[in-house]
Amino acid sequence: MRSSSNQKTEVVPVKRIGRGGATPGAGRKKGTLGRRIKLIRDLSMKAMKEAKRVPLATMLKNMNQFDDEADLLYAEYQELKKIPVPKDESKKIKHFMKMMEHWSKTRECMLDAQKAAVDAAPFMHQRLSATDINLSVGVVTKPAGEMTEEQKIDYFNKLRLRPTSHVPLQITVDNETGDSVEEGESE
């Protein structure tokens, strides 16, 4: 087949297929929740409605219950301490074993109450975050003339206990004029 030269070829622009990138108005709008988050939120709200108490109330109830039980056991332990120790060796051992058992149960209840208190604390009290610490580089003043032993101890303790800093230590000396003496100055 021969091609004829009379035919003209026309170039037709082809629409390009999208290559990705952001499309205005597409996707999930800001602030709306995804499917998974909505499901979790709905399940937790349903569980909260069905529950008798919120977790904090349960923790506080347990803490109070363990604390009350520990108080009762401690009172019983104190009563056992008041009972005179029997002379018979086997009764003496039983008495001490009963005392130790009460003390052990008391301690266990106290620790359980403490654990419940520790678990509930973040819901009740704010955690202290960064605190504002204002450290100023203090000027240590050296008294003029002879120092007494007490003044020397005080002066060297101030030098020793000063905060560490990138700023060099400034020492002023009381002289006749009361001016501070800078480093490198000679008297």
Top-confidence residue, 98 or 166: 98
Query: What is the percent of the chain with per-residue pLDDT over 90, rounded to a whole number?
Result: 19
- 90, containing H or E segment: helix 89-124
Q: What are the residues whose beta carbons fall under 8 Å from the beta carbon of 32, sequence distance 6 or more? A: none
Query: pLDDT over 70 for what percent of the chain?
Result: 71
Question: Buried (b) or exposed (e) across 80-96, using 16+ Cβ within 10 A?
Answer: beeeeeeeeeeeeeebe
Over range 49-76, report the average pLDDT: 88
Distance of CA 98 to the CA centre of its chain: 41
Residue 107: is its pLDDT beyond 90?
yes
DSSP letter string, 119-164: HHHHHHSPPP---------PPEEEPSSPPPHHHHHHHHHHHHHSPP
State yes or no: pLDDT of 94 exceeds 50. Answer: yes
Looking at residue 182, its pLDDT comes to: 54
Rounded to an integer, what distance in angstroms lies between the CA atom of residue 81 and that of residue 99?
7
pLDDT by residue (tens digit) across 20-53? 677 777 777 887 888 888 888 888 888 878 777 7
Q: What is the pTM of this model?
A: 0.44
Position 126 scores a pLDDT of 73
**Listed residue (114, 126, 125, 127) closest to 59, CA to CA:** 114
Check whether 66 has a pLDDT greater than 60: yes
Torsion over CA: 119, 37, 27, 20 (sign): positive
